[in-house]
Amino acid sequence: MQATQVKTVDNYNCINGTSLQGYVRTTYAQLVALFGQGMGAGDKTTQEWILQFNNGVVATIYDWKTYDTPLDVYDWHVGGARGTGVVALVQEALDGIIEVVDEFDEEEEDVEYYGA
């Protein structure tokens, strides 16, 4: 199934086994406008978002080893599982091709999620 929707979640368990897959160039303000406030600082991050797509793909967007949250245009890291096209999915969400929602449509809620 092709992804048509994405939502932000705060479940770190769903990102086990994910790793850096690539980058998206955008601003912090655009990420906040689309996905809300990030989850804050992690071990080596200042901001992070966890996204679930309605086709089962999970993605993370984060900065890496920056001392302050990058506010200008920055190459944000995209994490996920190999072979899922996660970077393209995140870019499609940024471009408005994939709808950002609070909850998925009912018929799409039975998807089994796996690392992006």
| pTM across the whole model | 0.89
Query: 10-residue block means of pLDDT along the chain (116 residues)?
Result: 93 93 98 94 91 96 95 98 96 97 74 54
pLDDT on residue 87: 98
Single-letter residue type at 48: E
- Contact of 56 with 115, CB cutoff 8 Å: no
pLDDT on residue 116: 44
- Domain locations in the chain? 5-102
**Residue 64, φ and ψ in degrees, nearest 5:** -145, 120
The candidate with the shortest Cα–Cα distance to 23, out of 59, 68, 67, is 59
